Chains A and B, each alone.
Chain A
Amino acid sequence: MKKVLFVLLLLSISFSAIPIPGPDYGVPLAEPQPSWQLFTGYAILLSALILIVLFMLGTAFDIQELKLVAHEEMYQIIMTMVLAAVLVGAQEYMSVLSKGFLDGGVSIQSGANQILTVTEVQLKIIYTTSLMQIAETVGNEGAKSAFCNFMSTGVNISACGGYRALGTPISTVYQLMGVILAEIQSMKILLNLGTQAFVLFIPLGIFLRAFKLTRGAGALFLGFGIALYFIFPLSIVFVDKLLVESYSIYSNSNLYAIPPQPQLFPCDEWNTGEGNMTKSMDIFDGLIPYLQSVLSMMFLRGIFVPVISLMITVASLRALTAIGGAEIDVSVLSKIA
Chain B
Amino acid sequence: MIDSLLSGNIGFVIAMSTIITGLVIVLSYYLGEAIGNPKISLWAKTEVIQLFISVFMVVFIVFAIQSFCSIDASGFSVFMPQGTSIPSMTIYDAAYAYTYSASEFTHNSLSIQRYYLGAYDLLEGKSYWNCKYTGCDEWWCCLFGTSGVSTSPGSYFQLMPSLSVTFNTSIFSYLSALNYMFILEYAYTGILFFLLPLGIIFRAIPYMRHLGSLLIAVCLSFIIVYPGILSIFYIFAQASNSPISFTGYLGNNAKYIGQEEYLANPPSISEGILFIYGRDEPNAIALSGKAFIIGVLIPTIALLATIASVKYSSKMIGEDIDLSRVIQMI
Cα distance A190–B300 in the bound complex, in angstroms: 14
Cα distance A174–B161 in the bound complex, in angstroms: 6
Cα distance A268–B316 in the bound complex, in angstroms: 79
Q: Does B252 touch A at the CB level, under 8 Å?
A: no
List CB contacts (< 8 Å) of A190-231 with chain B: 190, 192-193, 196-197, 199-200, 204, 212-217, 219-221, 224
List CB contacts (< 8 Å) of A90-133 with chain B: 120, 123-124, 127-128, 132
Q: Does B265 touch A at the CB level, under 8 Å?
A: no
Q: Does B162 touch A at the CB level, under 8 Å?
A: yes
A200 in contact with B232 (CB, 8 Å): yes
Contacts of A142 in B (CB 8 A): 155
Count the A-B residue pairs with Cβ separation under 8 angstroms: how many?
205
Instruction: Pull 16 A–B residue pairs with CB atoms less than 8 Å apart, ordered by A.
Output: A127-B162, A127-B281, A139-B155, A139-B159, A150-B147, A170-B159, A179-B166, A185-B289, A189-B243, A200-B235, A213-B316, A217-B229, A270-B149, A328-B304, A328-B308, A336-B300
A144 in contact with B150 (CB, 8 Å): yes
Nearest A-chain residue to B235, judged by Cβ: A200
Q: How far is the CB of B268 from chain A (nearest CB, A)?
A: 19
Q: How far is the CB of B13 from chain A (nearest CB, A)?
A: 24
Q: A146-B133, A200-B76, A213-B313 are in contact. List 9 more A-B contacts (CB 8 A).
A: A139-B158, A144-B151, A192-B243, A197-B236, A213-B312, A214-B309, A328-B304, A328-B305, A330-B304
Size bracket, chain B contacts? 35 or more
Size bracket, chain A contacts? 35 or more
Q: Does B75 touch A at the CB level, under 8 Å?
A: no
Query: Interface readout for B291-330 with A: 1 if CB under 8 Å, 0 if not?
Result: 0110011001100110011011100100000001001001
Q: How far is the CB of A156 from chain B (nearest CB, A)?
A: 9
Query: Interface readout for A139-150 with B: 1 if CB under 8 Å, 0 if not?
Result: 110111111111
The binding surface of chain A is classed by DSSP as: helix
Query: Interface readout for B78-116 with A: 1 if CB under 8 Å, 0 if not?
Result: 111110000000000000000000000000000000000
Contacts of B196 in A (CB 8 A): none
Q: A34-B78, A216-B309 are in contact. Are A183 and B157 (CB under 8 A)?
A: no
Q: Does A77 touch B at the CB level, under 8 Å?
A: no
Q: Does A152 touch B at the CB level, under 8 Å?
A: yes
Q: Does B272 touch A at the CB level, under 8 Å?
A: no
Contacts of A26 in B (CB 8 A): none
Q: How far is the CB of B219 from chain A (nearest CB, A)?
A: 13
B159 in contact with A135 (CB, 8 Å): yes
List CB contacts (< 8 Å) of B204-256 with chain A: 225, 228-229, 232, 235-236, 239, 241-244
